[in-house]
Structure 1
Amino acid sequence: MASEDAAPDLLHIGLDLDTGPVTVTKKTHEGVPLAPENPVARVVVSLGLPQLDQTFDYLVPATMDHSAQPGVRVCVPFSGRELNGFLTERADTSDHHGSFSLIRRVVGTEQVLTPEILTLAQKIALTHAGTVDDVLRLAIPPRHATAERDLPLTRTNDPSPLPPPTSQPWQHYPAGEHLLRHLREGDNPAAAWVASPGLPHDEDWPYAFAHLAAATLTSGRGALIVAPDHRDVASLDTALTAVLGPDQHVCLTASQGPSARYTAWLKVLRGHVRCVVGTRAAAFAPVTNLGLVAWWSDGDHCLAEPHAPYPHVRDILRTRRELNNCALFVGGWTRTTHTQAWIDDGWIHPISEDPAQRRHRAAPITIAGEHEQEDRYGPGAHARIPSLAWRAAKAALAHGPVLVHVPRRGYVPSIRCTSCALPARCPDCHGPLSFPTAEAPPTCRWCATTVPRYQCPDCHGFRLRATVIGSERTAEELGLAFPGVPVRFSVGADIKDSVPPTPALVVATPGAEPTVEGGYAATIILDAWSALGHACLDVGEEALSRWMSAAALTRPRSRGGRIVLAGVPDSTALTPVEAFVRWAPEWFSSRELADRCGLDLPPLMWPAKLTGNYGALADALNTMQTNLHDTNARVFGPALLATGESKDEHTPVSERPAVALVTCDLEHREHVAALLAAMRATRAARQEPQVRVRVGDADLEALA
């Protein structure tokens, strides 16, 4: 432990200065009485500095003895400033052999940092080369004094009784009823579930999760469910209310606002409710007697925290299972390679419906542009919106809405030279050019500069063509083809949660698809090549997840639902396309993982992405070379990042942004993470250019 000894107003007390822990011997200092028992308080100070990732020892005045309890927020002096922190422990000894300061004040008496969450934060910081302070910033919401004061310490009314146990949503899955029974009996199974499409509303995935929560609550334990976005949380909220009854759970999302979110979080902390559903920050919720951690759509990018130390919900909840010995459950329309690796290791059990029954229920999927369609439709079979898609949409509009799934928003978000196909870039900042509307000149998507007289720097041509068609241009084409049919948007900042079940064309981008009562009469997925065209390790996994998420909103085969996939590259056989048509995500994840086995790729190895200036990265990796070699870690890079900014031409190479990748075997991950954390701390202490570390990010494209 250390003490904050740089402040000008340090208070010296009588200490035994022998080596080892020292004991506070005086009961007062300069007229300030100290707490009669355990006068030393250990505090995690909110510093945000990797070189100071430790607890600091302070003294507790007697006036704060009852309020300064482990878990409360405190304000302490540090280097001439007053900073906030969390009191983690009271003791009568300290490892520090110098001067101490007094705690200035206790910020509320709520013990917001529980021992479990502190241990979880320490573990996440260790495995992600981060700091405990950074993790606690993610785990505990900002204090709202009014909410803290107005919420009763204990629940004032008795919760409604739980409904009789039922397994209705799980009757389609052979192992479903066994899972529920284990949860009711207080066991701790781990399961990975592939959801089936086309089921009735009260048997869809939110209700399946709700019944898992009900089974866990029946055993006297708590349940925690995490979903990617607020729309998924709203679906789970509705299902949980229907299954558990009112006031049995709370929602935790960033969109709630400070007061509502903190009130909901306090209800969990104080034990008013035992079930929580929320977005990624809810993964740290202090659920009492935690019995189940579960999350939906493991591959969704929204489950990856964008702030340091960048933990994924998957890692947080698995760590909570290990610390709490609770059940774990992950579900989705698809299965990620991370989940498949757990299954292959025997650590988690798979649950899914019989594939033949699932395919029989799901809406049939047709690939536009196949050979027999060429004979029937001619060149129209290969159009961006092929003849098959037009005919499917026309037939479906007689019975309900049609979902048109496009990969990009905007009008024409990407353009290129007609002659040489060079992507068109801004002459000022080198950003990508686009057509924001039909009449607008080429416009930079980065700096908004218009380029009325664009000339290709390669072939000097003046003509431009679209690389990708956006949602607005697609809607324009659909409106012309189907006059009188409403065209609705769900893109970007204008995402609709649901649309009415009346005939309409609904244009949506990935992740923004509205739900509709009874499902869409047809789903048209355009520009499949765009989803498959990225140089990304998980490109196939992401494409399949996007397509299946959209297809799952379609009516089942028995009610006339139909799905058309257009824009599929025909040069090679593509496993994501085959898996989609067969509705076989398990086959895809198993094959994808097998392909990675001999290539030393995630999730069969542990990656960490390092970013910073080229010189800083080269120096950091050179310093760590010996220690990394001892762990058999591999280093790729550093490599310069192409930012497209013209100023790079005049910037020294050592100061340009760069990236590197460090990988190691899974058994050495904590050791390598500790080395990376020590490297960051050393560089920060020396005030050298910083290197950012993001564990789990295997962005191989940057090093290509």
Structure 2
Amino acid sequence: MVIARVVVDVPLAHLDRPFDYAVPDELADEVRAGCRVRVRFAGQLVDGFVLELGDTTEHTGKLAPLAKLVSGEPVLTPEVAELARSVADRWGGTMTDVLRLAVPPRRAAAEKRPRADRPAPPEPPDPAGFARYPTGPMLLDAVAAGAPARAVWTALPGEDWPARLAELCQAALSGGRGALVVVPDGKDLDRLEAAADRVLPKGSFVVLRADAAPDTRYRRFLDAARGSATVVLGTRAAALAPVADLGLVAIWDDGDDLHAEPRAPYAHARDVLVHRAHLASCAAVVAGTARTAEAALLVEFGWAHQLVADRATLRAAAPRVQALGDDAELARDPAARTARLPSLAHRVARQTLADGAPVLVQVPRAGYAPGLSCARCRAPARCAVCSGPLGISATPGPGGSRVPACRWCARPAATFDCPHCHHTKLRASVVGAARTAEELGRAFPGAAVRVSGRGSGVLATVPGGPAVVVATPGAEPVVEGGYGAALLLDSWALLGRADLRAGEETLRRWMNAAALVRPGGQVVVAADAAHPVVQALVRWDPAGLAERELADRRELGFPPITRMASLTGSAAALAEFLEAARLPDDADLLGPVPEPPRPGQDTDGDRERYLVRVPRGEGLALARALAEVQGVRSAKKVAEHVRVQLDPLDLI
């Protein structure tokens, strides 16, 4: 009798294991490892994947037969099955949760397509693109040879990073290996796809994007699972995509929070790829214009080596960065420290436009006036219904009016009565991109003004010529030849955030914008020149700031030096959860604190959050302990759920 070990699609923690089923004789020739089946489980028909076939079982009773073969297509490869199990164990989730992210829903029409032939391997790439980095050509050679080379690549300003990543994929293909590259969003994915079209053989790669039609996404997924296409490009879910003969994994801009999965088990794409490189013994590249503390830790541990240019090459490629708080500028303009667009920024923008070049203006907030406060006492304006923050959107209402509305429940606030001083007038406490564009349009009446960001639409590219481009972080469009200048405004909105990663994230956003400026151009940052993050930008030294962040977190015991788990629920549920948890001996319990309110959700004030901290080496033990408690609570059918998240981004 043939035995099929099946992982069933049941979202219960205590059932997170494979179950044995008998394969009926009529299906014996069609059922194979990785295919989809339907089985009877607890009296219901549920979906599942066959992990493996065997002829023995530990089950002592009679085995139930497979109810139905949904498809004989092996969509769950052994490598992805091993990875899904490992990710679930490492982040305290279930294998079913991971497989929902890894394998898209079935589309029968796509499975009827004949299997395409794998294209012939291309020639190795020209190493000239990586020649500006002393060890760059060596990395290409190692990837082509199938060696498990690991690098943390800090890209030069103005670097054509999509072309460099495509060349790494070409190197892997030339050696007969596959490659997987993950980028934050669709705008970056479009650029990467265009670069891959230029250097990779036709049919050798597929693009997995979240906004693709279900039929298209499943068809491309099948091309990768069948081994027809051995290069996969995509966003965070592609980190779990099947790739035949995997030889390289790479991630661009790993500090972008879009890489963090918002669904259980909440794994970060960078960490999944690093773990996958370890399991597959393949090459790995963590790339970006800036550098995260997690990437710095990989270098410190010796798991990866730095791929950076020398200082002479960097100075030739980088723009000139000026901060508004330096002594010379304060002597010229005493109001520079408080003005939103001081004279230095105005002079640089005016001169750049006169030279016929575009100016990039980065504003941290979208909308028109996303933050409002009382005009008298400056207290934040809140919605009378849900206590959400009031703001003014970028889109005017009927007749061109701009009525304040709640940013959580969207209820308009035609009248306002301050609960503290009963004043009825409002003022803008935060200025968004739309209002900034309006103000710059008046300041530079002869220049075209374009806005890129949420609400107004994200522009991928803009034409050259004199224009002011106002963009929110991550929405900066690319211009051929680069911008003549960049103005980085409202630095307090980034540096002043109550966030463990505020400095690291601020530098990442600033450097991504400044890297779009042509060599010899100017970057003006509206911040105190003495701030460490501003100094890192002026020196163009992301590695130095990352090492400083890592040292600070080591002293304070924060990730990535340690691993942390966030437990959220009611006080009673958390007390019961922690009492049952067999935490590691050196676990440190922090809390409880009230759960921070989330947009659009009312809170009754009873929900709390604990943080559990352990040394990095105890992270797997912590994940297993928390998963064990979740399994026990699931088996007992406890009504209240405790949200468990390992390595959360929002610790503060």
Q: Which residue of 2 aligns with 1:428?
A: 385
Show the 5 A alignment for 1:57-136.
57-136=20-99
Alignment CA distance shift 1:119-1:247 (3 Å): same
Rounded to whole Å, the distance in 1 between the matches of 2:600 and 2:54 is: 58
- Helix, strand or coil at the partner of 1:466: strand
Structure 1: unaligned runs, 5 residues or longer: 1-36
Rounded to whole Å, the distance in 2 between the matches of 1:635 and 1:220 is: 49
- Helix, strand or coil at the partner of 1:96: coil
Alignment CA distance shift 1:94-1:106 (3 Å): same
TM-score w.r.t. length of structure 1: 0.88
Contact map agreement 2:173 2:179 (CA 8 A) in 1: yes
1:683 aligns with 2:647: no
Rounded to whole Å, the distance in 2 between the matches of 1:698 and 1:213 is: 30
1:454 aligns with 2:416: yes
AA partner of residue 334 (structure 1): A
AA partner of residue 367 (structure 2): G
AA partner of residue 63 (structure 1): E
Rounded to whole Å, the distance in 1 between the matches of 2:294 and 2:322 is: 29
1:47, distance to aligned residue in structure 2 (A): 0.8
State which structure, 1 or 2, has the greater radius of gyration over its C-alpha atoms.
1
AA partner of residue 409 (structure 2): C
Q: Which residue of 2 aligns with 1:622?
A: 579
1:517, distance to aligned residue in structure 2 (A): 0.9
When structure 1 is superposed on structure 2, of 324-333 and 267-276 the one drifting more is: 267-276
- Helix, strand or coil at the partner of 1:294: strand
Rounded to whole Å, the distance in 2 between the matches of 1:209 and 1:601 is: 32
- Helix, strand or coil at the partner of 1:516: coil
When structure 1 is superposed on structure 2, of 87-96 and 426-435 the one drifting more is: 87-96
- Helix, strand or coil at the partner of 2:524: strand
1:521 aligns with 2:521: no
Q: Which residue of 2 aligns with 1:633?
A: 587
AA partner of residue 137 (structure 2): E
Rounded to whole Å, the distance in 1 between the matches of 2:598 and 2:270 is: 34
AA partner of residue 364 (structure 1): R
Alignment CA distance shift 1:154-1:389 (3 Å): same
Q: 1:265 aligns with which of 221, 241, 249?
A: 221
Q: 1:178 aligns with which of 122, 138, 143?
A: 138
Q: Point out which structure has higher relative CO (alpha carbons under 8 A, 6+ apart).
A: 2
Show the 5 A alignment for 1:320-399.
320-379=276-335, 382-398=338-354, 399=356
1:468 aligns with 2:430: yes
- Helix, strand or coil at the partner of 1:240: helix
Alignment CA distance shift 1:461-1:646 (3 Å): farther
When structure 1 is superposed on structure 2, of 692-701 and 503-512 the one drifting more is: 692-701
1:643 aligns with 2:600: no
Q: Which residue of 2 aligns with 1:490?
A: 452
AA partner of residue 428 (structure 1): V
- Alignment root-mean-square deviation, CA: 2.0
AA partner of residue 229 (structure 2): V
Q: 1:140 aligns with which of 96, 100, 103?
A: 103
Q: Deviations over 1:252-296 (max 9, x none)?
A: 111221111111111111111211111111111211111111111
AA partner of residue 237 (structure 1): E
When structure 1 is superposed on structure 2, of 177-186 and 332-341 the one drifting more is: 177-186
Q: Which residue of 1 aligns with 2:254?
A: 298
Show the 5 A alignment for 1:403-442.
403-436=360-393, 439-442=401-404
Q: 1:195 aligns with which of 155, 161, 170?
A: 155
Rounded to whole Å, the distance in 1 between the matches of 2:441 and 2:601 is: 44
Contact map agreement 1:415 1:465 (CA 8 A) in 2: yes
- Helix, strand or coil at the partner of 1:329: strand
Q: Which residue of 2 aligns with 1:693?
A: 644
1:218 aligns with 2:218: no
Rounded to whole Å, the distance in 1 between the matches of 2:651 and 2:598 is: 19
1:648, distance to aligned residue in structure 2 (A): 7.4
Q: Which residue of 2 aligns with 1:551?
A: 514
Q: 1:667 aligns with which of 617, 631, 648?
A: 617
Contact map agreement 1:429 1:645 (CA 8 A) in 2: no
Rounded to whole Å, the distance in 2 between the matches of 1:395 and 1:535 is: 37
1:310 aligns with 2:266: yes
AA partner of residue 680 (structure 1): Q
Rounded to whole Å, the distance in 2 between the matches of 1:694 and 1:210 is: 34
Q: Which residue of 2 aligns with 1:11?
A: none
When structure 1 is superposed on structure 2, of 376-385 and 102-111 the one drifting more is: 376-385
AA partner of residue 48 (structure 1): P
1:248, distance to aligned residue in structure 2 (A): 2.3
Rounded to whole Å, the distance in 2 between the matches of 1:91 and 1:623 is: 37
- Helix, strand or coil at the partner of 2:302: coil
Equivalent residues, number? 644
- Helix, strand or coil at the partner of 1:416: strand
Rounded to whole Å, the distance in 2 between the matches of 1:255 and 1:408 is: 24
Contact map agreement 2:366 2:434 (CA 8 A) in 1: yes
- Helix, strand or coil at the partner of 1:66: coil
1:181, distance to aligned residue in structure 2 (A): 1.7
1:140, distance to aligned residue in structure 2 (A): 0.8
1:378, distance to aligned residue in structure 2 (A): 4.5
1:458, distance to aligned residue in structure 2 (A): 2.2
